[in-house]
Chain A
Amino acid sequence: NAGVTQTPKFQVLKTGQSMTLQCAQDMNHEYMSWYRQDPGMGLRLIHYSVGAGITDQGEVPNGYNVSRSTTEDFPLRLLSAAPSQTSVYFCASSSGGYNEQFFGPGTRLTVL
C-alpha cells in the first residue's frame, strides 16, 4: 500500500515551458486535491476533485489545469510556467467529508 505518490520530486523549468505533475493514490479515495506551499503562507488549494470526471477550482487556480479520468490519478498541468509558480506542490486524497487527508511527499518546482 503506497498511499499517495507524486512524481517528480524535483523539477526545474524555464519560463513558458509546460509540464505535468503526477499524483496517484491506491486507497480508492474519491476526493483528491492539489495544494501549493509557499514560505509564510501555509498551503493553498489549487484544484480539487470529488470523483472521476469531476473537478473544481480552489483558492488559487490560475495557471493550472487538472483532469480526473480515473479514481487513482489526478495530474496537475502547467501550460506555460511562470516564476510565480515556483513552489512546493502537494497532492492529497481522502474518503470525503472531514475524514483525514493523506498527503504525498511533494514536488519542488523551480521556474527560472
Chain B
Amino acid sequence: AQSVTQLGSHVSVSEGALVLLRCNYSSSVPPYLFWYVQYPNQGLQLLLKYTSAATLVKGINGFEAEFKKSETSFHLTKPSAHMSDAAEYFCAVSDRGYNDMRFGAGTRLTVKP
C-alpha cells in the first residue's frame, strides 16, 4: 500500500525566508500526490496536486511542489514566507482516488517576524 513520510513535524522560518517542507512517498504505481493546508480550527484546504501532467506544480498562495520520481519526493516550497502561511501542512498520496488516500503526519510551519 502507498504511504507518505513528512520529514520534520515542526519547521520554523523567518518572514521573507524560503519555505521548504519535505515529503517522500512510496507507491507501487505512478501516484497522485497532494499538499493540503490546515489553519487552526479549520478543515483542510487543497494547496496543489500532481496528476502526472507536469513535474512542477504551482498551487495557491505562491506555493509550488516538484515531483521527483528518482527521489520519490514531492517537496513543497515557497520563495518568501508570510506570517499568514503559519499553519499545518499535510502531504497525501493516492493510487486509485480518494477512497485510498493516505496522509502524512503533518508539518507545523511557524513564521517568525
Contact = CB atoms under 8 A, between A and B. Distances in A.
Interface residues of B, number: 24
B42 A43 contact: no
A41 B45 CA distance: 18
A102 B32 CA distance: 17
B83 interface: no
A40 B9 contact: yes
A103 B98 contact: no
B97 A97 contact: yes
Nearest to A58: B99
Nearest to B6: A42
A4 B97 CA distance: 20
Q: Please give me the 7 A-B residue pairs with the lowest Cβ-Cβ distance, nearest first.
A: A103-B43, A42-B103, A43-B103, A103-B44, A100-B46, A42-B105, A48-B99
Interface of A: 4, 31, 33, 40-45, 48, 50, 56, 58-59, 90, 92, 94, 96-98, 100-106
Interface of B: 4, 9, 32, 41-46, 49, 51, 90, 92, 94, 97-106
